[in-house]
Amino acid sequence: MTLWSHGSLPALPPELAPEPADAYARAPKRERTRRQLIEAAARVFSHRGVAVATLAEVAQVGQVANATVYNHFASKDALIEEMAVWLADRLCRRIAESCVHVAEGSERMAVGNRRYLWLADVAPAWAALLLDVAATSPALLGTVRDYMLADLRLGIRQKAFKVTTEAAAADLVGGTISQAMRMRIAGLAPKNHATAVTTMVLVGLGMSRDAAAEVVARPLPPLAVAAPMPRSVSRPVRRGRSAVQR
pTM: 0.81
Whether the Cβ atoms of residue 242 and residue 147 lie closer than 8 Å to each other = yes
Torsion angle, alpha carbons of 134, 140, 146, 152, to 10: -30
Q: What is the pLDDT of residue 94?
A: 86
Tens of pLDDT along 7-19? Answer: 467 877 777 766 5
Each residue's pLDDT tens digit, 80-107: 998 888 888 777 888 888 998 999 999 9
Average of per-residue pLDDT across 187-208: 97
Interval 53-77 mean pLDDT: 94
On the question of pLDDT at 192 being above 80, the answer is yes
- For domain 19-74, the CATH architecture is Orthogonal Bundle (1.10)
pLDDT at 14 (0 to 100): 76
For 7-55, write each residue's pLDDT tens digit.
467 877 777 766 555 555 667 888 889 988 998 999 999 999 999 999 9
d(CA 62, CA 56): 10
Q: In which residue ranges of the chain is CATH 1.10.10.60 found?
A: 19-74
Per-residue model confidence as pLDDT tens digits over 147-179: 999 999 999 999 999 999 999 999 999 999 999
pLDDT of residue 151: 96
